[in-house]
């Protein structure tokens, strides 16, 4: 099929093999190697590709920068900070627009302030 007759699929054009930064490497293992490989995966809780990459780089004596994995505790900490920022933005928006608060909105406003104080105290406790 000639280039003129090809249907334009749209989207981003594919990268040429020269431009790609990721390369696929295949390997074959016998049963004992596969068993040892799987045991190592379970022990170290790694993905298959991570384990192969680490082993290869270690064998070739190439050092790779380690990226710290975020623990669930750190992720929940970031979530608390995000919630606090969201609440602060809501309050700032209300105050900047000059909204007059009715009774229900006033109660919600003070609940939000109390929640902010609680979150800030939790953040301070985690930092110290």
Task: Show pLDDT as tens, one digit a residue, over the chain (128 residues).
Answer: 455 556 667 778 887 777 777 778 888 989 998 999 899 888 888 888 888 888 888 888 777 666 667 778 777 777 877 877 787 777 778 777 877 767 777 777 778 778 777 877 777 777 66
Give residue 4's pLDDT: 57
Indicate if 31 and 62 belong to the same structural domain.
Answer: yes
What is the maximum span of the chain, computed from C-alpha positions, in angstroms? 74
Domain that holds residue 117: 72-127
Give residue 2's pLDDT: 53
What are 3's two structure tokens?
């280039």
Number of domains in the chain: 2
Burial 28-50 (b: 16+ CB within 10 A, else e): eeeeeeeeebeeeeeeeeeeeee
> Could you tell me if residue 81 is inside a domain?
yes
Give residue 24's pLDDT: 80
Give residue 30's pLDDT: 93
Give residue 127's pLDDT: 67
* 3-state percent helix, strand, coil for the chain, nearest multiple of 5: 60, 0, 40
Indicate if 26 and 45 belong to the same structural domain.
Answer: yes
> Could you tell me if residue 79 is inside a domain?
yes
> Could you tell me if residue 76 is inside a domain?
yes
Indicate if 36 and 63 belong to the same structural domain.
Answer: yes
């Amino acid at each position: 099929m000639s280039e003129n007759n090809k249907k334009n699929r749209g989207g981003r054009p594919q990268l040429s093999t020269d431009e790609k930064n990721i390369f696929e490497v295949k390997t074959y293992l016998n049963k004992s190697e596969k068993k040892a490989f799987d045991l190592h995966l379970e022990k170290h809780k790694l993905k298959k590709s991570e384990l192969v990459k680490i082993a290869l780089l270690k064998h070739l004596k190439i050092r790779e920068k380690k990226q710290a994995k975020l623990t669930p505790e750190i992720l929940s900490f970031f979530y608390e900070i995000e919630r606090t920022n969201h609440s602060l933005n809501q309050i700032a928006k209300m105050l900047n627009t000059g909204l007059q608060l009715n009774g229900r909105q006033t109660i919600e406003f003070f609940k939000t302030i109390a929640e902010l104080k609680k979150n800030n105290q939790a953040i301070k406790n985690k930092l110290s």
